[in-house]
Amino acid sequence: MTQRLRVVWTPEMLRYDFGRGHPMAPDRLDLTIRLARELGLLADADLVGAAPASDALLATVHEPAYVAAVRRAETEGVADPARGLGTDDDPVFPGMHEASARVVQGTVDAALAVVAGDAVHAVNVAGGLHHAMPGAASGFCVYNDAAVGIRAMLDAGVERVAYVDVDAHHGDGVQAAFWDEPRVLTVSLHESGRGLFPGTGHPDETGGRHADGSAVNVALPAGTGDAGWLRAFDAVVPAVVEEFAPQVLVTQHGCDAHRLDPLTHLRVSVDAMRLASERLHELAHELTGGRWLALGGGGYAIVEVVPRAWAHLIGIAAHRPVDPDTEVPLAWREHVLETYGRTGPTTMSDGVTPAFRTWRSGFDPSDEVDRAIRATRAAAFPALGLDVEHD
């Protein structure tokens, strides 16, 4: 197996652009790659672009009529609100199909490279478009690259894939694609749908009739910070992934759980996100022989948060983790000031040392986060053969 990291990147990825004023600004991708390059994280990585995915590949997850509707939206500017096209979340833009399909192909190529051993790990920060449904765009996502990538792995002979999603929003599209598929475990750690799009991801969503226990959802209360977020991650994610024993690990690293994100209500730091990425990397080496595909996702503090969070992810995947005390390179900060008129962050840390109590320290029924964790464990653990109290 090669020890090189594959990073999916071409400036053409910046064409996934809903237009001025939309939260899903492609600038966050450009700033991430610029920062990773300035930190020296791409020196030993293979940067690989992608052509747009074929309609046949998209049809492994998406309805052909929906793909045709996206094509019409691209060529004719025709909105189709019933399929989520032309809405405030997913406005029609020129090149919509091609840009979205390119992200999909990048993720699929990366997934198959990891499966074949052509890359030790792979990262596609443009990917992680986890809300797209088989027949509709949703939540800034036109095609679901994560679901198509996982389907490609199954079609290539992989028997078990674990998908872990730490975006502040529930990974509903990936869960829906594999709701009744026992070969795929979907785990989502997110803000409760009681007050945040898409309104799903409740603990009792545990999979279909033929795949009970294949969906695991941790719905955290608004305001959850590092200690609660990491406690929830530690109390659920390692246990269910280890029990499932995947052959490949796919992770989605939306960084909109950050306290500065304008669209969500969690209070997580870049430092806590870095710890979660490190733990997922460790799980890949412990359980899958290192077969790990990491994707981007949400994240709308495009200067202050996204580039640092994803540069940390790239560094971990490259086996060159960035010390949180590292100074953000001056050239990157000058580019931010010149381009956006803003002062960027000066270090790769939020200046905190995240800490948490493990679940073994005991359940506190008066704590809202603990109640959320307990609800998930009670709903999902028995179907996986895990002990609600101890595993």
Confidence of residue 81 (pLDDT cuts 50, 70, 90): very high
**Active-site residue flag, 281:** no
pLDDT for residue 1 is more than 60: no
294 contacts 312 by C-beta, under 8 angstroms? no
In degrees and rounded to multiples of 5, residue 79 shows phi and psi of -75, 150
Specify the pLDDT at position 160: 98
Confidence of residue 391 (pLDDT cuts 50, 70, 90): confident
Residue holding tokens 């306290």?
259
221 contacts 215 by C-beta, under 8 angstroms? no
> Among 39-48, 71-80, 339-348, which stretch is predicted with the lowest mean pLDDT?
71-80
For residues 254-283, average pLDDT: 98
**Structural domains of the chain in order of their starting residue, each with its CATH number:** 5-384 (3.40.800.20)
Confidence of residue 2 (pLDDT cuts 50, 70, 90): low
Please tell me the distance from the alpha carbon of residue 83 to that of residue 137, in angstroms, as a whole number: 6
Specify the pLDDT at position 173: 98
The average confidence (pLDDT) of the chain is 97
Confidence of residue 76 (pLDDT cuts 50, 70, 90): very high
pLDDT in tens, 193-231: 999 999 999 999 999 999 999 999 999 999 999 999 999
Specify the pLDDT at position 390: 84
pLDDT in tens, 149-178: 999 999 999 999 999 999 999 999 999 999
CA atoms within 13 A on the CB side of 279: 20
Confidence (pTM): 0.98
**Closest of 121, 232, 89, 221 to residue 166, by C-alpha:** 232
Confidence of residue 78 (pLDDT cuts 50, 70, 90): confident
Cα torsion at 219, 220, 226, 228 (round to 10°)? -100
pLDDT in tens, 308-319: 999 999 999 999
Catalytic residue among 131, 169, 281, 312: 131
